[in-house]
């Protein structure tokens, strides 16, 4: 059988690994795929990552990693490198568009309660850190891949088969980390409806920090929200969301942001003034309200957005993808049939990720409420509940919660 590299199968084993029972293919070099690859390589799997893009440069500005994600990253050796990039010091919290604080918390409070602070970092930095945990030749770019046969987990004569533009590869284990549009999910679970519109769109920008300082915040308006977080390197990551019909796009998204958020409190106007129109990313949000029946089929494990795309309202999609990768590697010893490990992976991850997807959907609905009365009631409730303890603020503003 051709192997997609222009080499014979035996030679291909030399680059991507191929000792019987040890050969793993990962489809997709996003956060989830690279975490899984690093974890599996640490366990002795011979891993090849196939990425369809020409580079590993990720789309999407920055990402927030909560303590659960940081702890999972410890397992693949990059937790401390991520923690060293924490920029949040002092206060932060939830505000109203006129600048009133609805609820405040602090980085100290987050640390005391959950052991770690929230870290925001460039996505490219996280990708680089994960990539560096793998052997140089483990990642192939320009390598779109497609599962053609998931194989039989407990039959050594039935490996999984994956097609690339240059031929077919076989593997003892395939990790499908091919993101929200996952073709692997459609192949393995054809009856699942897949992701659906979550009811809102998002914008993201990265800009230099404004002269006048500000505390990190998420600000909830009527059917709209804005968040601003300083990063370690002096830039600011800001995001916005609005409950609008699916599929809308403005000619000039920066002008659209100015129209919607230009009169909100500092630093929103200053950040918008610093943004370049072509630097504004806009994405409609889709999520998988209905969980998959399992996170694996045959010898193929699904992870990250491919398995459980969620609304970004808790900033947990990437964190959960990281957890997936670490838990998968934990359950799968090379050289043994992967069936029991894959079943254990599904059993561990499905309840947890389904719960986070559901909570993220609820958080999205709460933060993007529209009716004026409901918004007033929400804001009053937030203020009251936050006086009782920091949990609600930490959960809503920083995605930090009790799923440690």
Residues that bind ligand FAD (CB under 6 A): 27-33, 50-53, 60, 63-64, 144-146, 177-179, 183, 202, 204, 239, 283, 285, 304-306, 312, 315-319, 321
To ligand FAD, the closest distance from the beta carbon of 61 in angstroms equals 8
Half-sphere exposure of 22 (CA within 13 A, CB side): 15
Question: To the nearest whole angstrom, how small is the minimum distance from the Cβ of residue 339 to ligand FAD?
Answer: 23
CB of 59 to ligand FAD, least distance (A): 8
> CA 35, CA 127: separation in Å to the nearest integer?
9
Tokens of 300: 């193929």
β-strands 139-140, 145-149 pairing: unpaired
Select 318 or 364, whichever has its Cβ closest to ligand FAD: 318
Nearest to 341 by CA among 19, 39, 129, 126: 39
Q: How far is the CB of 352 from ligand FAD (least distance, A)?
A: 14
Q: In the numeric block, which tokens belong to residue 381?
A: 């409730």
Q: Nearer Cβ to ligand FAD, position 31 or 329?
A: 31
| Strand 119-122 to 23-27 pairing | unpaired
- Nearest residue (CB) to ligand FAD, 113 versus 287: 287
Smallest gap, in angstroms, from Cβ of residue 83 to ligand FAD?
Answer: 15
Terminal-residue alpha carbon distance, the chain: 45
Which CB atom, from 85 or from 144, has the smaller least distance to ligand FAD?
Answer: 144
Query: Which of left, alpha, beta for 226 (phi over 0: left; psi -120 to 50: alpha)?
Result: beta
**In terms of Cα–Cα distance, which of 219, 215, 228, 222 is closest to 94?**
219
Q: Provide the minimum distance between the beta carbon of 55 and ligand FAD in the complex, in angstroms, as a whole number.
A: 10
Rounded Cα–Cα distance for residues 62 and 31 (Å): 12
Say whether 154 sits in a helix, a strand or coil.
coil
Q: How far is the CB of 204 from ligand FAD (least distance, A)?
A: 6
Are 260 and 115 spatial neighbours (Cβ–Cβ below 8 Å)? Answer: no
Q: Which is nearer to ligand FAD, 40 or 379 (CB)?
A: 40
Long-range interactions of 209-213: CB distance < 8 A, separation 24+: 209/234, 209/235, 209/236, 210/236, 210/266, 210/267, 210/270, 210/271, 210/274, 211/270, 212/266, 212/267, 212/270
Residues 6 or more apart in contact with residue 370 via CB below 8 angstroms: 222, 223, 243
Using CA atoms, how far apart are residues 19 and 268, in angstroms rounded to an integer? 55
Cβ neighbors of 191 (< 8 A, separation 6 or more) are: none
In the complex with ligand FAD, which residue's Cβ is closer, 105 or 316? Answer: 316
Nearest approach, Cβ of residue 299 and ligand FAD (Å): 17
**Which is closer to ligand FAD, CB of 365 or CB of 383?**
365
For ligand FAD, the closer of residues 78 and 379 by Cβ is 78
Instruction: Give me the numbers of helices (H) and strands (E) for the chain, helices first please.
Output: 14, 18
At its nearest, how many Å lie between ligand FAD and the CB of residue 41? Answer: 16
CB nearer ligand FAD, residue 53 or residue 91: 53
Which residues partner with 91 through β-bridges?
106
């Amino acid at each position: 059988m051709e192997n997609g590299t222009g080499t014979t199968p035996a030679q291909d084993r030399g680059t991507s690994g191929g000792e019987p029972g040890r050969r793993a293919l990962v489809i997709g070099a996003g956060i989830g795929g690279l975490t899984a690859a690093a974890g599996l390589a640490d366990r002795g799997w011979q891993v090849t990552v196939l990425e369809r893009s020409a580079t590993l440069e990720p789309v999407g500005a920055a990402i927030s990693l909560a303590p659960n994600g940081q702890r999972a990253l410890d397992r693949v050796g990059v937790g401390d490198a991520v923690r060293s990039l924490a920029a949040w010091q002092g206060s932060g919290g939830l505000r109203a568009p006129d600048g009133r604080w609805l609820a405040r918390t602090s980085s100290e409070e987050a640390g005391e309660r959950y052991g770690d602070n929230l870290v925001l970092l460039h996505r490219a930095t996280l990708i680089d850190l994960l990539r560096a945990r793998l052997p140089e030749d483990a990642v192939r770019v320009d390598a779109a891949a497609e599962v053609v046969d998931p194989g039989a987990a407990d039959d050594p004569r039935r490996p999984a088969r994956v097609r690339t533009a240059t031929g077919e590869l076989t593997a003892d284990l395939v990790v499908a980390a091919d993101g929200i549009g996952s073709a692997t999910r459609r192949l393995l679970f054809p009856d699942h409806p897949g992701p659906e519109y979550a009811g809102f769109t998002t914008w993201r920008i990265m800009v230099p920090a404004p002269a006048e300082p500000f505390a990190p915040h998420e600000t909830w308006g009527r059917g709209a929200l804005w968040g601003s977080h300083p990063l370690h390197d002096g830039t600011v990551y800001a995001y916005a969301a609005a409950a609008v019909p699916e599929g809308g796009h403005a000619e000039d998204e920066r002008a659209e942001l100015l129209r919607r958020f230009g009169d909100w409190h500092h630093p929103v106007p200053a950040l918008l003034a610093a943004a370049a129109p072509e630097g504004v990313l806009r994405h409609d949000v889709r999520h998988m309200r209905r969980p998959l029946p399992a996170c694996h089929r045959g010898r193929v494990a699904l992870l990250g957005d491919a398995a459980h795309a969620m609304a970004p309202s808790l900033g947990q999609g990437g964190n959960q993808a990281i957890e997936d990768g670490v838990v998968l590697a934990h359950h799968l010893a090379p050289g043994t049939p992967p069936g029991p490990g894959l079943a254990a992976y599904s059993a561990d991850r499905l309840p947890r990720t389904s719960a986070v997807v559901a909570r993220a959907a609820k958080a999205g609905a709460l933060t993007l409420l529209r009716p004026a009365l409901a918004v007033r009631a929400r804001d009053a409730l937030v203020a009251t509940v936050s006086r009782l303890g920091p949990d609600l603020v930490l959960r809503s503003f920083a995605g930090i919660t009790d799923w440690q």
